[in-house]
Amino acid sequence: MKEIRSIICHPEKPEETLANISHAIEKKLLIELIAENTKKTFIPKSEVPLGSGIIIRSGGSTGGPHQCLIPYSHLNQSAYASAYWLREHGINIKDCQIFNALPLNHISGLMAWWRSECWGSRYIPIKPSLMKEPQLLEQKLESRNHIEKVSKIISLVPTQLRRLIKDTEGIKWLQSFSIIWLGGALLPDDLASTARKLKIRLAPCYGATETTAMIAIQSPEDFLLGISKYSIALQDVQLRVGKNNRLEVKTSRLAKAKFINGKFEPIVNSEGWWESGDAADLIDEKDGKKIRVLGRIDTAINSGGETVYKENLELKLLNAASQAHIPIQDIFLASVNDKEWGQRLVALFRLCPKTEKKLDSKLFSILKNIVKDWPPYERPIAWHNCPQLTRNSQGKWESKKWLIWLQKEVIDKRDV
């Protein structure tokens, strides 16, 4: 009998969630992992596939958000691919401690635990509340840091890294890791520069739910040297670029299907390649194929005949604001239609909490002055201070949410 077991992933109850997942795996069930306060997906009995595996949400690299079906064997292969990478870098997987600060309903969070099961490594879950208290984080976990020959590994998103790197205890904790796989979003230049100065061993990586997590990683050594932004493809992955530099991936661990519009559909094309939503550069070298992600194609805009990748420009703006000593914590670029240009950009930003009360009219003039010599298609036509601006738990923007906020903001100002 085909059965789907829906499991709510409580972020503050990781042990309970893992017990439920383990029990379902023992019964070889099909498991749907869902976030807290989220409804389970209604999948008609006629659409429930045979076999065991995980149904997990993707942010939608292409075609919008959807659920991906990933067999257990694909999760195993992903774990062994990252183990092979670690061995190449002189790390014995048996000596690893795997820390997890990401939700289990996120592919990177799930894979942290799955790797520990495949490798026979120690798994250490970290509750979100603890991640916000770097001093407590160090105190509660320090007893696990003094084992000889241990290699500490963790996966983070840039938002988490930025929060930790602002705190002395957070820095100390980050410096204790052998590998910090960093993904979910592009790494801002200012954050990368700070991490290098502090000798934090970041390993920027690229992957997706559809690829069962990481498919390319930059070594900490290359990151610390700062000589390249390219990551090397893992040994079980083929990469190529298609039309408009769209990154395409072929590997035997691709998700089996996606559930969208009430049914499961294949994610690959007729040749077995998955077409991502990202544009990329690829180069071939002796040590493998290297990849540099340019930005998301589905959020790129055409402004005055120029293609603008918003993620790259957000990082450029953050870096410029940092150099000008403007206390901006994050920036989201919304696109609006324009008769002459096609589309133009509007910037939403969130200031650091301690400076929020000091906001004055000069700030907007300073921001406009920073970009005055930039190409017109890169200059926002308006700036909005948005104290509520935050990314989701995966470190990504929920674009529709902030477009609605912007529309309301414009209407409210007109009514004043």
Considering only residues 81 and 337, tell me which one the structure prediction assigns the higher pLDDT: 81
Mean pLDDT of 314-326: 89
Q: What is the pLDDT of residue 161?
A: 94
* Average pLDDT for 27-34: 92
Instruction: Please state, in angstroms and rounded to a whole number, the distance separating the CA atoms of residues 272 and 384.
Output: 44
pLDDT(15) > 90: yes
Q: What is the pTM of this model?
A: 0.82
Whether the per-residue pLDDT at 415 is higher than 70: the answer is: no
Give pLDDT tens digits for 54-85: 999 886 545 556 889 999 999 999 999 999 99
The per-residue b/e assignment along 307-324, b for 16 or more CB within 10 angstroms, e otherwise, is ebbbbbbbbbbbbbbbee
Model pLDDT, residue 395: 78
- 312 pLDDT more than 50: yes
Query: pLDDT averaged over the chain?
Result: 88
Which residues have a Cβ under 8 Å from the Cβ of 258 and sit 6 or more positions away?
A: 58, 63, 66, 67, 68, 69, 210, 264, 265, 267
CATH 3.40.50.12780 segments of the chain:
4-296
pLDDT tens digits, residue range 122-179?
A: 999 999 999 988 888 877 665 455 555 789 999 999 889 988 999 999 999 999 999 9
Are 112 and 155 contacting, i.e. CB atoms less than 8 angstroms apart? Answer: yes
Q: What is the mean pLDDT of residues 228-242?
A: 93
CATH 3.30.300.30 occupies which residues in the chain? 301-415
Domain spanning 4-296: which CATH class is it, in words?
alpha beta
Map residue 239 onto helix, strand or coil.
strand
Is residue 1 very low, low, confident or very high in pLDDT (cuts 50, 70, 90)? very low
State the CATH architecture for 301-415.
2-Layer Sandwich (3.30)
Give the CB-side neighbour count of residue 77, counting CA atoms within 13 A: 17
* Residue-wise pLDDT tens digits, 101-136: 999 999 999 999 999 999 999 999 999 999 988 888
380 pLDDT above the threshold of 90: yes
At 311, the pLDDT band (50, 70, 90 cuts) reads confident
DSSP lists the bridge partners of residue 5 as: 31
Percent over 90 (pLDDT), the chain = 61
Across the range 378-384, mean pLDDT stands at 93
Neighbours of 15 (CB within 10 A): 10
pLDDT in the model for residue 156: 95
SS3 224: helix
Give the model's pLDDT for residue 416: 38
Band (192; pLDDT cuts 50, 70, 90): very high
Written as one letter, the residue type at 351 is L
What is the rounded average pLDDT of the residues 22-37?
91
Model pLDDT, residue 399: 87
